[in-house]
Structure 1
Amino acid sequence: MTTYNINEFFETIQGEGQYTGTASIFIRLQGCPVGCSWCDTKHTWPINEGVGIQLKDVLAKTDETEEWAAANAEELLSFIKNEGYRAKHVVITGGEPAMYDLNPLCNVLHENGYSTQIETSGTFEIKVPEKTWVTVSPKINMAGGYKVLESCMARANEIKHPIARQKHVEELEELIAVAPISDDALIYLQPISQKTSATKLAIETCKDKNWRLSVQVHKYIGIS
């Protein structure tokens, strides 16, 4: 039975991409070797065996820590129901969620009336059902040395690309040229750290290319 290492578990509003504004349950998985320099969840990178905790203790955490709890799909579903969460959309993020086979978890959630979404760097094979919404935030030339996979780009329902400078836009264009996306995939540009210059560049590029802007609404309104 597949188990998942859970670093965080919470209900909030999705603040990015196509599902912006949607009430969502976030499941943040532990483990990521990609090495993005601007990552705001670096505490999810290592999987240290000595910091395992109980699933109920994940909710009790008050700081960002490397502690994680192991749980399978049925246990996670039971946990969602017991907590009384009202949202019916589940976002599986990380860390790098595609390091795990997410089919068991997503299938159980679908069978119980939930929709699912994953947020991935595109550097690991994506193992999800067809119904799962796949957000690929392609991590190009990161410290970990992982390449963005063509299969991930082809599977993406949306591309969400963080940018700060023109070179980041060009990197995305170059990637799409060699790893095409589907005709109906959406492309979002997301300004890194909400900087004024990055936001202006994203807006102008979106107008020029008929792409979309993702502004991390949760940060503007001050929620997790």
Structure 2
Amino acid sequence: MYYPVNEIFQSIQGEGYYTGTPSIFIRLQGCPVHCNWCDTKYTWICSDKDRTSVEEVINKNQISKKWSFIYIKDILKIFKKWTAKHVVITGGEPCLYDLVNLTTKLEKSGYHCQVETSGIKNIKCSLNTWITISPKKNKRPTHESIIRSNEIKFPILKKEDILYIYDILSNIKDNKKRIICLQPVNQNKEALSICIDLCTKKNWRLSIQLHKYLKIE
């Protein structure tokens, strides 16, 4: 089985519960959400004209729309040059695709998987995969994806965004313990102040996109 991959690289997870964890990132191509403030707009369209070789994708030194289909067996071969054991499957919107085979085979090979998704599609992955949902206001996450989540990471730009947080959380009726993170959009100082204030009041976590402050990928 193969997936449309925009890039694969090793770095430090800069967001959410696993902030600071050495990680291998698999960025998949394609996303229908199209947030105005998105910092990976180059992954939105999975066009044949942007399809390239596996070698070009794995050797990328700058962001681009170029992508390639890569088989799971070849993903595992690529991983051998790195030391991290935490894998972040992101995008784009990774849950456009069935991730069961990918996450299962990665876990059997000794990796721990995390999927970062908007939650607009029901999530297909192994039961052991850590699910981070980042709900977007322009396309609401499905109830099933929210229930499956281990962590909900809310992007915050202005005070009105707080109402959306309460709306999402009010519809969760199970007793599952979830990590709640607030993340200011694009290092916006006003948004950061809002997040710090609410995290302190609610005992939630602050996610500051550490990789952007460190200026690493």
Q: TM-score, normalised by structure 1?
A: 0.93
Distance in 2 separating the partners of 1:136 and 1:168? 16
Distance in 2 separating the partners of 1:180 and 1:69? 40
Q: Does 1:125 align with 2:122?
A: yes
Q: Aligned partner of 1:175: which letter?
A: I
Q: TM-score, normalised by structure 2?
A: 0.96
Matches within 5 A, 1:44-123: 44-81=43-80, 84-123=81-120
Distance in 2 separating the partners of 1:72 and 1:182? 38
RMSD: 1.2
How far the C-alpha of 1:61 sits from its partner, in A, is: 2.5
How far the C-alpha of 1:127 sits from its partner, in A, is: 0.4
- 1:36-89 per-residue CA deviation (whole Å, 9 max, x = no partner) reads 1110000000011122112221133233211101012112111212xx111001
Distance in 1 separating the partners of 2:49 and 2:158? 40
Q: Aligned partner of 1:69: which letter?
A: S
Partner SS for 1:19: coil
Aligned position for 2:201: 208
Residues 1:180 and 1:15: Cα distance change in structure 2 (over 3 Å): farther
Residues 1:223 and 1:180: Cα distance change in structure 2 (over 3 Å): farther
Is contact 1:150-1:180 (8 Å) kept? no
Distance in 1 separating the partners of 2:53 and 2:103? 22
Distance in 2 separating the partners of 1:136 and 1:40? 17
> Which of residues 131, 150, 170 is equivalent to 2:163?
170
Distance in 2 separating the partners of 1:207 and 1:180? 24
Distance in 2 separating the partners of 1:210 and 1:78? 41
Residues 1:11 and 1:103: Cα distance change in structure 2 (over 3 Å): same
Q: Does 1:25 align with 2:8?
A: no
Distance in 2 separating the partners of 1:185 and 1:108? 26
Distance in 1 separating the partners of 2:83 and 2:214? 21
Distance in 2 separating the partners of 1:182 and 1:134? 17
Aligned position for 1:155: 148
- 1:97-144 per-residue CA deviation (whole Å, 9 max, x = no partner) reads 00010011111110110000000001011001111000000112x2xx
Residues 1:75 and 1:184: Cα distance change in structure 2 (over 3 Å): same
Partner SS for 1:170: helix
Distance in 2 separating the partners of 1:29 and 1:181? 31
Aligned position for 1:194: 187
Q: How many residues in Structure 1 have an aligned counterpart in Structure 2?
A: 217
Aligned position for 2:14: 15
Partner SS for 1:131: coil
List gaps (5 residues or longer) in structure 1: none
How far the C-alpha of 1:182 sits from its partner, in A, is: 4.9
